Amino acid sequence: MKTLNKKLLIITFSLLFVFITAAFSIQSNAAYVSNSLTSRYVYDIENGEEYKFPLIYELNYEKKFNKNDIYGEININPIFEYGLETESENFKFKEAYIDFYFPDFDLRAGKQKLTWGKSDGIVVTNIVNPRDYTVHPVVEYSDQFEGVNALKLNLYPKNNNLEFVWIPEFKSATMNKNILLNKIPDNFRKDDSKKEIKPEFENSELFIRYSSIGQKLDYELMASYSWDDEPTLHKNFQEMTVVPQHHRLTTVGGSISTMKGPYVFRGEGAYVSGDHFNLKDPQFQISDYPEGVIEKDVTKWLVGMDYNYEGYLLSLQFMQETILDYKEEILQDEFSNQMTFLIQKDFMRSKLNTEINFHYNLNDEVLMAKPTINYDYSDTINLKTGANLNLEGETFKEDVIYFQTEYLF
C-alpha cells in the first residue's frame, strides 16, 4: 500500500504541474513555459550493488509584465525529484524571483543563483551562493550551488554594471556528513549550540561587484561582508565537545580575461580577512588558543588559459591559496594548490558533445576525472552519460557512472 501511495503521489504531482503550465501558456502569450522530465541511473562502481535511480521533473516559467509603466519579469524554477530505489520525494525551488526594470536600474527579489568571476570549476570570488557538498555525481557544475533569498540591485554607469546583493538571512553550506565525522576527534561529541546565525539585520550579508565587458578586456571588481559558508570546528576540552561556528569574513577581489587569437587568458584573485583554522595539536596549546582555533588572513589567486585548436577546446587552470603570517601549528598547509585541465570536442554538427575534466589537488595528491558524453537525439530527447572517478589518492566520494535521459516538452 505504501509503494502504491508513493506512485500515485508522483503521478498526481506530475499531472498537476503539466495542467498548471498548460494553463499558464494558454492564458498569457507573453509567458514562456518549458518542462523537462529526467531519468538518471547512477551506479556505484566500488560497491557494485549500490545505486540511485531518481526521476526529476523540472519546470521553467518566465512571464514578462507591464503594469502602470512598470516593466518586469517573473521567473519560477521548481524541481520535483522522486527516488525509485528509496521511494523518497524532494521538492524545492531552484530559483523563484521577480525582476523590475527601470530606466536607470534593475531590481531583483527572491531566490536566485549568481555566478561571479572568471574561473571554471574552482571557487575564488564566486562566493554569493553556498555550496552543497552532498551532490554526487556532479552532472552540472551549477548543481553544487544553492539558491539564496536575496535582493539584487543593478546600476549601469557608462554601460558597465554595478551590482549590489543583500542577503537578509545567512544560509550555510550543506556539508557531507563523512567530512564532519572525520574531523571530530575520538571521545568528542558535536555541539551545534553556536552554529546557528540568527536572522537579524546585523547578521545579513552584502556583496558588491563592478564589471565591465570590453572589446579587448573584461574585468570584475568585488567586495563582500559575509559569513564563512563552512563552519570552523572549535573545541571545548572541558566538556569534550566540538562546536561548529561560522565567522565573519571581509573579502575584496577581482578577475580579468582577454582574448588573443585562439587563446583566452584569465586571472582571478581575492584577499580574505577573518578566516579561521584548526591547529594540529590543540591540547598542547590551550593557554594560547583555548578552543584550538587561530584567526588568519588568506590570499587566493588563479591563472587560466583556454586554447581552441581544430574544434578542440583545451583549458588549463592553476590556483593557490596562501595563509598569511603562517604558523607551523596550523593543521592546513601554508600553500594549497589546485589544477584543472579540460578537453572538449563536439561532433556531428554539435549534436554530440564530449568532454573530460581533470581536477588535481597537489597537497593531498588527489586526482579526479569527470568524463561526459552528451547526445541531442532530437529537439525533445537528450541522452547523457558520464562518470565521477577518483584516479589517485583518497577521497570521501565513491566512483560512480551515470546514464541519463532527458525529455523536453
Q: Which amino acid is at 188?
A: F
The strand pairing partners of 208, in sequence order, are 164, 223
Q: How many CB atoms lie within 10 A of CB 102?
A: 12
pTM above 0.85, yes or no: yes
170-189 pLDDT, tens digit each:
999 998 887 777 778 888 89
Residue 13 clears pLDDT 80, i.e. is over it: no
- Short-list 337, 321, 253, 332, CA closest to 294: 332
Residue 2 clears pLDDT 50, i.e. is over it: no
127-154 pLDDT, tens digit each:
999 999 999 999 998 999 999 999 999 9
- pLDDT over 90 percentage in the chain: 76
CA distance 121 to 115: 11
Q: What domains does the chain contain, in order, with CATH numbers?
A: 1-33+57-101 (no CATH), 102-408 (2.40.160)
287-327 pLDDT, tens digit each:
889 999 999 999 999 999 999 999 999 999 999 999 999 99
CA distances from 375 to 94, 272, 320 (A): 25, 42, 36
Q: Which amino acid is at 396?
A: F
Contacts of 49 (CB under 8 A, 6+ apart): none
Residue 117 clears pLDDT 60, i.e. is over it: yes
Residue 47 clears pLDDT 50, i.e. is over it: yes
CA distances from 284 to 49, 73, 187, 269 (A): 45, 59, 17, 35
CA distance 90 to 80: 6
Phi-psi bin for 158: left (phi > 0), alpha (psi -120 to 50), beta?
A: left
